[in-house]
Chain A
Amino acid sequence: MNLEGYSLLSILKEIERGSINVEDVNDFYYKKSLQLNDKINAYITLLKPDDKKINGNLKGIALAIKDNISTKGIKTTCASKMLESYVPPYDATAVSKLKEQGGRILGKTNMDEFAMGSSGENSAFGPTRNPLNNDYVTGGSSSGSAAAVAANMAPISLGSDTGGSVRAPASFTGIVGFKPSYGAVSRYGLIAYANSLEVIGILGKYTKDVKFLFKLIAGRDPLDSTSLNVELNEKEQFKPKILVIKSFVELSKDEVKKEFYRSISKIDEEGFDVKFINSFSLTEYLLSAYYTIACAEASTNLSRYDGIRYGPKVESTGNWRDYITKARSFFGPEVKARIMMGTFILSAGYYETYYLRALQLRKLIRQEFEKIIKGYDALYIPTMPVLPWRIGEAIEDPKMAYASDVLTVLPNLTGSPALSLPVGRVREFFVGGQLIGLRGDDIKVLKIAEMMEEILKVKDDGRN
C-alpha cells in the first residue's frame, strides 16, 4: 500500500468503506518512518502502533506529536539533554482529546530545544533535515512535526507555535501549518516556554485535514484558565475580503515576492476581494516586542529546571548556587542565550526600559492590527521572507534566523489565528502564504485557506 500524498480525510473515508484497514495505514507510516528517520531525523521517539481496536473519529490512526507536548508514559524531551529521560505522568489535554477520538501516538517529533528557534537546528538530538532537500533546514521549532508530514512519515501532526513555530516549518516543507487563536486549544500539558504567546498547532498535508483535527482538539478546558470556546460552525460559501500589507511583502526576497504576488493575481481572478495598504506602522518593533517578551517569559518558565524540581540530579560539593548552576549546564546554547537575556530584561533597572515597554508596545500592535483588519476577513502576507537556508548558516549568523521571524510573530502578539499554506514553487521548495484573522475567527481563516488551496492547486496530485 502506498499512501503518499493521501489526505487524512481520504484515508478515513477508505477505512470507513472497508477498502483499507487501519493496521495497514499505521504500518505504512511506521515503516516509512523507520526507513527515513536516519536521514530526516524527524522523530526523537518512534513507537510501533499496536493493533488494538479503537473507536472514534480517528479510527485508531497514529499521529505524530511534538516532543514538548506531554504524553503519559512516553518520553517528552523538549529536544533537550535537560529532559532526556523525562516521562510525563499525564497527557496534555490536546493529546487526551485525540485519544478519546480514537487517535494513537506514532512518535514524538524533533524540534528546536524548548521550542526556541526558527530552523530546527537547535536540537540536542541533531538537526531535522528538510525532506525536499536534506542539506537545508526544515524551519522550526516544530521541525520534526513538519518533516514527518512532508516525508509521509505521519498523516498529520501536532506542533506548537510561539512566534511562527508551526507556520515556518510548514512553509519550508510545503505543507499546511495552523496556529489557532490564543486559548482556542488548551495549553495544559504543553511544556511552557513563553506562555502568553504560545499555542498548540496542527500540521497537515491539506487544510481540510487540519480543520478536521482542530475541531477535535479545540475548546475550553478547566485545566487551562486561558482557554476559551471559539466558533466552530462554518459559514456558507462567501466571497473573502483580503487585505495585503505591501511593506510586509517588500521585506521578502524577490523569489518569494514573485510567487506571492502571482498567488494574489490568481485569487483575485477567482473573485476574492483583494485590497492593498502600504504599511503597518509598527513593523519595525515587532521583533523587539516579541523577543523581549519571549525571553523574559523563558527565563521565568525555565527556572524550574534546577536539578531539584526538574532536570537531572548532579553531584555538587558547593552551595545551592553551585548546584543549580551545574544542573542548568544541560541547556543548549540557544536556550542559555535566551534565559540570559530574559533574566537581564527582568532585572532591576531594565524591567521598565525593556519588559514593560514591550508589553505596552504589544497593546499598540494589537490595536493597530484590529484597526486595519476591520472590514476584512483576513490579512494575507508571505509566511517566511526567505526560502530555506543551508543547515549551519544560521548558527554562524543568528541575526538572520531572528530576522526571519518578522512575518510570523504578529499573530502571536495579537493572539490571532494564522495559517500557512503553499502558494508557489521555487526550485525544489515551496513559498508559503500566510492568512491571519481576528482572534476567534479560526474557522473563517481555515475556510479561506481551503478556498485558496482549491484555486492555487500548488500541491494537487489528485489523491487528496
Chain B
Amino acid sequence: MKYSINKLSRLSMLKIRKDEEKMISKKVLAIGELLEKLDSIEPPKEAFVLAPEGTHERNDIPSNFNSDEIIKIFNSVKDRYAKGPKTL
C-alpha cells in the first residue's frame, strides 16, 4: 500500500503509538487524496520562483535571471540535493 503507516513512519523516523494509529491513518489518506489530483495535470516545465529581495513588482522575475541556466545547474546536482531517502 502506497501510504502504509509502517513504511512512512520508518521513512520519517517517527514512532506511531497504537492509540494514534487510526487517527494518523485517516489524516495521511486525506492528504494522499489531495496528492493524487496532481497526477492528472501536466503543467509547464518552469518552477515557481520567489520574488527577489527588496522588490514587490507584479512581474517580479528579475531581468538577469535565467531560469534555463538555473534548471541546468539544478539538473546536474539534483541527485545530491533533491532526492530523499531511497528506502521506500
Contact = CB atoms under 8 A, between A and B. Distances in A.
A353 interface: yes
B27 interface: yes
Contacts of A364: 43-44
How big is chain B's contact interface, by range?
35 or more
Contacts of B39: 353
A351 B37 contact: no
B70 interface: no
A331 B85 contact: no
A397 B12 CA distance: 24
A324 B12 CA distance: 10
Contact of A328 (B13, B41, B87): B13
A366 to B, nearest CB: 7
A336 B34 contact: no
Nearest to B86: A348
B56 A439 contact: yes
Contacts of A345: 35
Interface string B35-50: 1011101011111111
Interface in A321-366: 321, 324-326, 328-329, 331, 333-334, 336-351, 353-354, 356-364, 366
Given A228-B54, A284-B37, A361-B38, A340 B9 contact: yes
A443 interface: no
Given A333-B23, A340-B14, A353-B38, A348 B84 contact: yes
A354 B2 CA distance: 14
B86 A356 contact: no
A230 B56 contact: yes
B7 to A, nearest CB: 9
A33 interface: no
A276 interface: no
A225 B38 contact: no
Interface in A380-397: 395, 397
Contacts of A321: 13
A220 interface: yes
Interface of B: 3, 5, 8-9, 11-17, 20, 23-24, 26-28, 30-35, 37-39, 41, 43-51, 53-58, 60, 82-88
Interface of A: 181-183, 196, 220, 225-226, 228-230, 284-285, 287-289, 291-292, 295, 299, 321, 324-326, 328-329, 331, 333-334, 336-351, 353-354, 356-364, 366, 370, 395, 397-399, 402, 415, 438-440
20 contacts: A226-B53, A228-B56, A285-B37, A289-B38, A328-B14, A333-B23, A334-B27, A336-B14, A337-B24, A337-B28, A340-B12, A340-B28, A348-B88, A354-B35, A357-B38, A357-B41, A360-B44, A363-B47, A364-B44, A398-B26
